[in-house]
Amino acid sequence: MGKTGVSAVWHDSNESWEFRELPLPKLESDAIQVKVEATSVCGSDLHIWRGDGIDTKKHPRDPFVFGHEMMGTVASMGNKVTTDSLRRPLKEGDRIAFSYFFPCAKCYNCIRGEFGACKFRLGRKPLDEWPVCNGGFAQYYYLRSPHYIFKLPEEISNASAAPINCALAQVYDALHLGGVMMGDNIVIQGAGGLGVNATAVANELGASKIIVIDGQKPRLDLAIQCGATDIIDMNEYDTAQSRIDRVMELTNGIGADKVVEVVGFPKVVEEGVDMVRMRGTYLEIGNIMPGSYASLDMAKFITNQIRFYGIQHYDPWIIPNSIDFLLRTKDKYPLMDVISHEFPLKDIDKAFKTAEWLGTQDGSKVTRAIVTPNA
């Protein structure tokens, strides 16, 4: 009781972090208090941090805590919780992966089993509102019910486990939804955390060609190690048309069966839809910020019969499958080594500045940075 934890609170007004001791919520009987061991700086976090798409004429956002790509240990659990979501015994101190959104389990979509599409899943809350601890750049994170939690095997380190619930689970879900199958030619736009995971997953699903596009050498190297058959280096192919032409060349003028967008800028979509084959599929994941307008000729979607999916969040089964995938392929792909930089919570400003690639001369050396709030 009366326990507190340190959270890194972001202030738009002066673009700075503040470390604030916040009270932990009173533990409900079906909830879990997680001690956060590792939280990655995801591309989405960089969007939020930069304020991409935010209307500068409006008031700055209230100070808030964010961070979603994380793992932790069970700090305490309500008396109704005895197992993880696969009914394996759970105790304090166990390391767990979990989804960072909480479906309500009683709405139109939830009763259809579409938990990732629950309109009432908990979003970010103001600092003084329950449950307070709902961001990953903090010492504690509160898992209200219904939560989906999965014990982690020892072989997966804390750093390697952090990206499971976003970078890996999100692309796994997208490729599943998009029906990626043996023999497909895939284009992956962006070789950040999501892109390299998507590359490995596409390879496991039996894709034929996996063409990865990025402008940063370390990321492209990692993509090759994760199964990319071809890379398109944006320093070499420096116009959208040259990249589209290259994809066409690599696919005998047909285009890709599936194109996956994990960069998060609207222009990338304009370019990517021209890489899709007739009746192919475009999987849009990256553009999470409001105001991400792209200029697209709708006739192209009709004429080329393009299937377009917008993807955010996933259903719970994706997480244990992702854990199994990571474990099973640990000697095949360097996904466990995607984390390149580690920072204590007090250095979160440095973590973000090091991870930032936009507007820098050579991009960032970071493939994924993590913050360790309890180190």
Closest approach of Zn ion to the CB of residue 119, in Å:
6
Give the Cα separation of 126 and 63 in Å (integer).
8
Supply the minimum distance, in Å, between the C-beta of residue 45 and Zn ion: 7
Of 209 and 368, CB closest to Zn ion? 368
The Cβ-side half-sphere exposure at 183, using a 13 Å CA radius, reads: 0
| Closer to Zn ion by Cβ: residue 251 or 322 | 322
Residue number, 237 or 343, with CB nearest to Zn ion: 343
In angstroms, give the least distance from the CB of 193 to Zn ion: 8
C-beta of 101 vs 333, nearer to Zn ion: 101
Instruction: Provide the token pair at 195.
Output: 């892109």
Q: For 8, phi and psi rounded to 5 degrees?
A: -90, 110
Residue 104 or 240: the one with the smaller Cβ distance to Zn ion is 104
Q: Toward Zn ion, which CB reaches closer, 124 or 307?
A: 124
Contacts with Zn ion, residue ranges (CB under 5 A) = 42, 44, 69, 103-104, 107, 110, 118, 120, 166
Residue 67 Cβ vs Zn ion, minimum distance, rounded to whole Å: 9
Q: How far is the CB of 59 from Zn ion (least distance, A)?
A: 26
Distance CA 52, CA 313 (A): 20
Q: Which two tokens stand for residue 301?
A: 């979607």
Q: Are 173 and 180 spatial neighbours (Cβ–Cβ below 8 Å)?
A: no
Give dist(CA 280, CA 251) in Å, integer.
Answer: 13
What are the Cα distances from residue 318, in Å, to 115, 233, 312, 324, 340?
Answer: 11, 31, 13, 10, 25
Residue 105: CB minimum distance to Zn ion, A: 6
> For the residues of 202-266, what is the DSSP string, one character each?
HHHTT-SEEEEEES-HHHHHHHHHTT-SEEEETTTS-SHHHHHHHHHHHTTTS-EEEEEE-S--H
Task: Measure the CA–CA gap between 237 and 186, rounded to whole angstroms.
Answer: 18
